[in-house]
Copies of this chain bind each other. A is one copy, B any other.
Amino acid sequence: MGEIEIIHSIRKFNRNYVRSIGLLEKTFLNTGYSLTESHILYIVKEEGKTTATDINKVLHLDEGYLSRIIKKLISNSILIKEKSQADKRVFKISLTEKGIKEQQKLDELSSCSIAGIISHLSQGQQEELAQSFNKIMRLLYGQ
């Protein structure tokens, strides 16, 4: 396989996957959260208690944009922030009780939408699919 074919395969995948992600975004619209917001909530769940800066080490959003999203999530009682004692520039962010529940709902929605997409595949095909995704993850992102 030459470089041109390799690049062609990846570009073909990208063209198709962009649309899948577009569909995913529409699924999230009904929830009242954007994909980006749901991503932020996922990170806060994973990290437990974190900061805007740490979230942005993953997401690389515009700082002002992130600040506003967090502000909105706080005003909707999904997140709370408390001033860090160690560094008074920093706000520690975490999920409220409501936030935990909302995040779980989003988590389930995401899993269900994936389950739907792979439901027409056999068990063996589903495993092949997962292994392909895992391989790409390792090769591209070292994970």
Interface set of A (CB-CB < 8 Å, partner B): 1, 3, 5-7, 9-22, 24, 35, 39, 42, 59-60, 110-111, 114-115, 117-118, 121, 125-137, 139-141, 143
Task: In the A-B complex, list the 5 residue pairs whose CB atoms are closest, starting with the nearest.
Answer: A9-B130, A132-B132, A13-B133, A6-B130, A132-B135
| Interface contact B143-A12, CB-CB below 8 Å | yes
Partner of A17, one of B21, B22, B118: B21
Known: A114-B7, A118-B6, A127-B6. A137 touches B13 (CB 8 A): yes
User: What are the residues of chain B within 8 A of A11 when measuring CB–CB?
Assistant: 110-111, 114
Known: A15-B39, A115-B3, A137-B16. Contact between A129 and B21, CB under 8 A? no
CA A131 to CA B139, docked complex, whole Å: 12
Contact between chains at B60 and A19 (CB < 8 Å)? yes
Query: Is A125's CB under 8 angstroms from B139's CB?
Result: yes
Residue on B with the closest CB to A110?
Answer: B11
